[in-house]
Amino acid sequence: MIDPRVYHELGLTDAEYQRVLDALGREPTPTELAMFSVEWSEHCGYPRSRPLLGLFPKTGKYPTRARGEDAGGIEVAPGLFCLFKMESHNHPSQVEPKQGAATGIGGIIRDIFTMGARPVALMDSLRFGSLASPHTRYLVAGVVDGIQFYGNCLGVPTVGGEIEFNDVYRGNCLVNVMAVGLVEERKIAGSAGSGAGNPVLVVGNSTGRDGIGGASILASHEFGIDEEKRPTVQIGDPFTEKCLIEACLEALESGGIVSLKDMGAAGLTCTTCETAAAGGVGMDIELQKVPRRETGMEPWEMMMSESQERMLVVAQKGREDEIMGIFHKWGLNATQVGEITDDKVLTIRDNGEVVARIDSALLADPPTYHLPTEEPAYLKPAQNKDLSKLPEPQDLAATLLALLSSPNIASKEWAFRQYDHMVQTNTVVVPGRGDAAVLRIKGYKEGIGITTDGNGRYCYLDPYLGAQLVTAEAARNLACVGADPAGVTDCLNFGNPEKPDRFWQFSRCVEGIADACRELQVPVVSGNVSFYNEGPESGVYPTPVIGMVGVLKDVTKHCEMAFRKPGEAIYVLGEMAGELGGSEYLKVCHDLEAGRPAPLDWKFEKGVQQACLEMIGQGLLSSAHDCSHGGLAVTLAECCLLGGVGAEVKLPALDGVRADAYLFGEAPSRIVISSSAPESAILETAKRHGVPCRKIGRTENETFCISLGDKHICAPVALMAEAYNGALPAKLG
C-alpha cells in the first residue's frame, strides 16, 4: 500500500488517488503515479478551472482555427492565419528569475511553431512588488534579462507588453508571455496521433532532471516560507530552439509528419498521453531510446522531466529516416522511441519492462471540480469607501509630475531597449510609441496589431467589471493604432482556488471576460490559467491579462500616440471626466486602493472604438492615445512627451466634478486624438457613431498647459520628460 504522504507530495488528493485505484484496478507503479500527478495537476489538466472556461465564446467576426491545440488563431488575410497564445511562468520566475522568464519565452514560442506557424512577435505582461525592495529589483532585472536573452537569441522581436508594480505581488511575481505566428491555413499542423504502426520520435534536446515536478508541485501549490524550489526550474537553450524552429518547419513542409507536439509542462507524460488521446489511439514507448544527458534517471524522472527544447513527432511509417535526417541536419537529436498502437493504451517501457500501462483518455481527462465560492470580506468596505472627503491637491502640476514618475506610468524604455524589437523587420509601431504594436505581413497589404492588458486593482475592487474593463481597454488600444479587434488569448492569474473567496474572484472575472468578448464579437482562441499565486503573506490581486490581436486592412493606415507637430487640434473622443475609484492617482497621492472602478457602457465603448478606427482609416488623425492610467492629464502629457511637442488645453467646467477626478480620474471609452483635418470631418464622424467629441486645445512648442477654470497645470515638456523617463532607471539603481 502506497503511503499517502507519497502521493500527497506529488499533489494528488486522497479522492484522486482512489480514482486512480478504481480505474486501474490495482495500485499504480511509481511511474504511473508520477504521470497522474502531473497530468491531473491544475497546470496541465485544469480540473478546477475547466468547467468555467466553457463560458468563453469560440467564434467571432473573423474565422477561427485550431481551438484546443497548443495555440489558436484568426484569419487576418485570405488564407492566412495568425496563431497566438499566452502562458504564465510565474512560480519559476519567482524562484529563478532569468531562467524562469527565459524558459517561459521558449515554451510559448514552441506552442506556435509546433502548429506550423513561423513566430513573428513576442509580448510580455509583468507584475512585481514594490521597487523599494532589493529583492524586487533583483527579480525585475533577472526577468527582463531572461526575456531579452532568449528572445533576442531566437531572432523573434519583443514588440511590447506591460510592467506594473504593487506590493501584493512581492511574494509571487507574475510573468506572462505571449507569442504570435503566421501560417497559411493549408499548412496548420495538429497534435492528434493516428495510424497504428506510425513511428513516434523524440526530437530536439536531451532529457535531464531539470524541471522535474514543475507542473505538479511548483505551479500547483502556494509558496511556503523558506521553501527551496530551484531544482524544479528548467534551463533554457535558445540556440537549440532556433534550430528546432527551422527543423520543425522544414519537416512539416515535407509532408511526412502526422502530428507534432511541444514537450512543455509534464514533458513526455503530457505529449504522449494527449497526442494519443486526441487521436483515439494508443502508444508504445521505450524510455531507453530517449536521448538523455544524465545517467541513472529513473523511469518516473524521465516521464516528469520538463527539459526544454524537445518535441514529440508522429511520422508517417516509412518516412521516419527522412524526418530524422532533417533534424540531424540541424544538429539536433532525433530518435524513434516507439510507435502508435490501436489499443488506446499508453504503454511505457524501460529496457523492455512495462513501467506504466494506462488508458490514454483516462490520463488526459482529469476529474473536474465545482469549487465553492464566497464573496471576499474586504469587498464591500473597499467599494463603499467615501472618497468625496479626500483633500484635493493644492499643486496640480506637482501631482502630475508625481504620477508621471510613478513606476506604473513612467516610461518602460529601460526594459524595451534591451529587447530587439526590429529583428525580422516587420515592426511598424515599436514599443512605447503606440497603445499596441503593429506588424506588417510581408507580401500582404494587411497588418496585425497586438496588445496585452491587465489591471489587478480594478479586478480586486470589482472582478466582473474589472475584467470587462481590461478587455475593453485591450480592444481600445488596438483601435488607437488602427487595428480592428479580432481575437483573444488570456492568462488568468489568481490565488489558491481552494479558498472560496479566491475562486469567487476567478469565477466573476471569467464571466466578465466572456461577456465582454461577446460584446466585441471576438473569440477566445487559446489561454492559460495560473492558480496558487500566493506568497507567505497573501495572494496576488486577481489579475486576468488579456492578449488581443487586431487586423489592419491596410497596414500603412496606422496611428501612434505622439503629437506630431505644433498647431494641430486636440480632441477628446468620448466623455470628458474620469472617476477616482481604483485610479493610480488614488494610490500614488492618497495611498488608497478603494472605491469602484468607473462603469462601462458597451454601446458607447464600441461607438468610440469604431469612430477612432474610421478616422484612422480615412487618414484624419495625426495621433490617438487611449485615456487610462493617470487619467486625462497624464494621457495628454504622454502625447506631448513622445512627440517632443507642447500643448495648450482649456477644459470646460463640469458641475459637481472635482478637479482631481477631472484631471486624474480614470474611466473607459475615452481617446485623446490630434488632427490637422477639418474640424467638421472629426465631429461628423464621431456623431455618426453616436459618441461625443470635443475640441479642447492645440499642440504648441515647448510647454504643456492645462486650464480648468481658475486651476492650472503648466510645465515645460523637458521637465515632464525628466520625471517620466528617469523614474524607472533611478528606482532600479
Catalytic machinery residues: 43, 89
Enclosing H/E stretch for 646: strand 646-651
Enclosing H/E stretch for 337: strand 333-341
CA distances from 613 to 388, 572, 620, 622, 673 (A): 36, 15, 10, 13, 12
Give the DSSP letter of residue 565: S
Helices 631-643 and 396-404: crossing angle, nearest 10°?
70
CB atoms within 10 A of CB 604: 17
For CA atoms 607, 608, 610, 614, give the dihedral sign.
Answer: positive
Q: Who's near 191: CB < 8 A, 6+ residues apart?
A: 69, 70, 114, 259, 260, 261, 274, 275, 278
CA distances from 219 to 90, 110, 111, 150, 164 (A): 8, 19, 19, 21, 22
Q: Which of 108, 190, 202 is nearest to 147 (CA)?
A: 108
Residue 473 carries which side chain, given as an amino acid letter?
E
Q: If you count them, how many residues does the chain have?
A: 733
Question: What's the CA gap between 545 and 543, in Å, rounded?
Answer: 6
Question: What's the CA gap between 392 and 590, in Å, rounded?
Answer: 10
3-class secondary structure, 452: strand
Name the CA dihedral angle for 59, 60, 63, 64, rounded to a multiple of 10 degrees.
Answer: -40
Tell how strand 646-651 and strand 703-708 pair up: parallel
Q: Who's near 656: CB < 8 A, 6+ residues apart?
A: none
Helical segments of 313-429, H only: 320-329, 360-364, 379-383, 396-404, 413-416
Q: What is the DSSP string of 29-75?
A: PHHHHHHHHHHTSHHHH-TTTHHHHTTS----SS-EE-TTSSSEEEE
- Identify whether the C-beta of residue 150 lies closer than 8 Å to the C-beta of residue 100: no
Take residue 716 and report the three cell numbers written for it. 515645460
3-class secondary structure, 382: helix
- Which residue in the block uniquely carries the three cell numbers 513606476? 407
Q: Who's near 353: CB < 8 A, 6+ residues apart?
A: none
> Degrees (nearest 5) of the Cα angle 656, 590, 139?
135
User: Which region holds residue 331: left if phi is over 0, alpha if psi is between -120 and 50, else beta?
Assistant: left
